[in-house]
Structure 1
């Protein structure tokens, strides 16, 4: 079963939508929706300019999850950037738009109605990122690394000394890496991390919640411990 995806551009129509502009819109839509082999472009419909695509059934759960996260601001970095870029394209075309999935409007695009946001940057500030180390290495004294956090990919650089410690956790537990980051804000209001120089890291506990709670229970003090002291202070009587 196929799901129809429609991106509506109110101020354009198939005759006024140039080839270059079509490519620009489709490129950002692809980043927003995710590069999935089960997503296909179909046609341009009338009634404004409506870019029509469809998704095969295997792509639908991932697509729904991705778009739901984008709507609440928790989507992948590439999707967030594409969201801002699509609004920029619409504003340049004096248009507003909407993404419809299966006939329902999922994401509105204010486009021309968005207030212009001043670009900011570069801004250097203390930065912390988290993720699984999936790559680390380099031929010179600066070592480059990549952390994967769900659909996000953080890129940074560090010293050989710190890299030796980080490298022991390649494809292992989640790392929290701190350092100095250079940030930029585009006209769509999206902040992007540019250069990131790591200075320290720590290994996070990836244990499931149930296991973590079990550890806490096992470590809880017995008689004459903190729990009993708390009960004495509160005047709690277990016999009541």
Structure 2
């Protein structure tokens, strides 16, 4: 496979009026979208609308093609999807629409709706009782209200406030077991449709136990009238246990 050139077109700019700082932002976002920075090179800005030409070396061309195909089909990784969103946000903020085209064939690989994408419904932030969970990775504070950070996979829960007494108890679980915090949170809907936790006031917490499912099933079966003594329920429970113990391939 030969080197492949792509053209990213921005309809709101020309090479004469595209600010250099904004060009740098677009190129940085494009590099994230392509995902193989060592073998992707900026070539030129062509006239008409601003058209950013970049070349992917043959060594990574198939990987880039597969990556862009997954983005187009909606089956991309979170990192690749964020890169697409970052480019589209740049376009929307510039009142622009964009396309990523394969230069040789003229085929549009990815469209970027930019200014034409549906406007999100504005919903003001609101508070409600909720719970969050994760591993405690920071506890501290110098005033009467202590603060913490909770890590749940790729998500970091910040702006968590609590009494010093709760903070002292959480400090003993720093980098330890998963905990579940109960309290009141303030939430805001983002332009992407996702909900962001702005702050959270912790009332209490519980430590989640890390134990096999058969332990929980045995505890449930000891409760009178739970229905788990039936033969069909028993074998359903056994299947859960066997599935858990079976090594992953």
For Structure 1 versus Structure 2, the TM-score category normalised by the shorter chain is 0.5 to 0.7
What is the aligned partner in structure 1 of residue 184 from structure 2? 180
What is the aligned partner in structure 2 of residue 147 from structure 1? 150
Structure with more contact order per residue of length (Cα contacts < 8 Å, sep ≥ 6): 1
What is the aligned partner in structure 2 of residue 120 from structure 1? 123
Contact 2:220/2:228 (8 A) holds in 1: no
> Given the alignment, which residue of 159, 162, 168 partners 2:163?
159
Residues 1:93 and 1:231: Cα distance change in structure 2 (over 3 Å): closer
How far the C-alpha of 1:13 sits from its partner, in A, is 5.7
- The aligned runs of 1:88-99 (5 Å cut-off) are 88-91=89-92, 92-97=94-99
Contact 1:84/1:189 (8 A) holds in 2: no
TM-score between the two structures when normalised by the length of structure 2: 0.59
CA distance in 2, matches of 1:178, 1:5: 52
- The aligned runs of 1:1-240 (5 Å cut-off) are 8-11=8-11, 12=13, 14-25=15-26, 39=37, 42-43=41-42, 45-46=44-45, 49-50=51-52, 52=54, 75=78, 84=85, 86-91=87-92, 92-97=94-99, 109-155=112-158, 156-207=160-211, 212-216=212-216, 229-231=229-231
CA distance in 1, matches of 2:142, 2:231: 60
Contact 2:10/2:51 (8 A) holds in 1: yes
Secondary structure, aligned partner of 1:170: coil
What do you get for the CA RMSD once the two structures are aligned? 4.6
TM-score between the two structures when normalised by the length of structure 1: 0.61
Contact 1:120/1:186 (8 A) holds in 2: no
CA distance in 1, matches of 2:135, 2:201: 17
CA distance in 2, matches of 1:229, 1:201: 33
**Cα shift readout 1:147-191 (whole Å, capped 9, x = no counterpart):** 112222111111112112211211012222222222233444443
CA distance in 2, matches of 1:185, 1:227: 41
Larger Rg: 2
CA distance in 2, matches of 1:187, 1:138: 32
**Cα shift readout 1:43-93 (whole Å, capped 9, x = no counterpart):** 254565347598x99xx9xxx7xx98xx579948xx85x765543321233
Secondary structure, aligned partner of 1:22: helix
Residues 1:140 and 1:221: Cα distance change in structure 2 (over 3 Å): closer
